Amino acid sequence: MAEKKTKTYTLEEVGQHNTSTSTWLVIHDNVYNVTKFLDEHPGGEEVLLEQAGHNASESFEDVGHSQDARELMCEYLIGELDEKDKVKSAKVKETEELPSTPSDGGGQNRQSKSCCVT
């Protein structure tokens, strides 16, 4: 079976989608189009619109989303961040490292390579 090619987007491209009619976010190097989710977001559309067109990884993790919320993200995944822009967002990633505790497996990072953030 042929492997599905993932669409890549630059931060500049993502940045053009920062309105209520076209709302894109970057979370852990994945690009999500959450426009259709604005009305359904439990925290209100305002919090998504504040992050629209940007890397929202830190804000996403600060809130402490449930596993159900993380799984729901798969529905809105449209691609991944271009390799050259992943370097630019590395500073955000560095702040997401969890402290080492017995319950988290010894300081595992919150990042995920799958479509959902786990």
Mean pLDDT in order along the chain per 10 residues (118 residues): 75 97 96 95 92 94 90 95 81 45 37 46
Give the closest residue to 17 by CA, choosing from 7, 28, 9: 9
3-state secondary structure of 83: helix
Could you give the angle at the alpha carbon of 109 between the alpha carbons of 63 and 107, nearest 5°? Answer: 105
Q: How many CA atoms lie within 13 A of 8 on its CB side?
A: 8
Q: Given this model, what pLDDT does residue 64 score? A: 87
Q: Given this model, what pLDDT does residue 112 score? A: 41
Q: Given this model, what pLDDT does residue 3 score? A: 55
Cα 41 to Cα 86: distance, rounded to the nearest angstrom:
26
Give the closest residue to 89 by CA, choosing from 7, 5, 9: 9
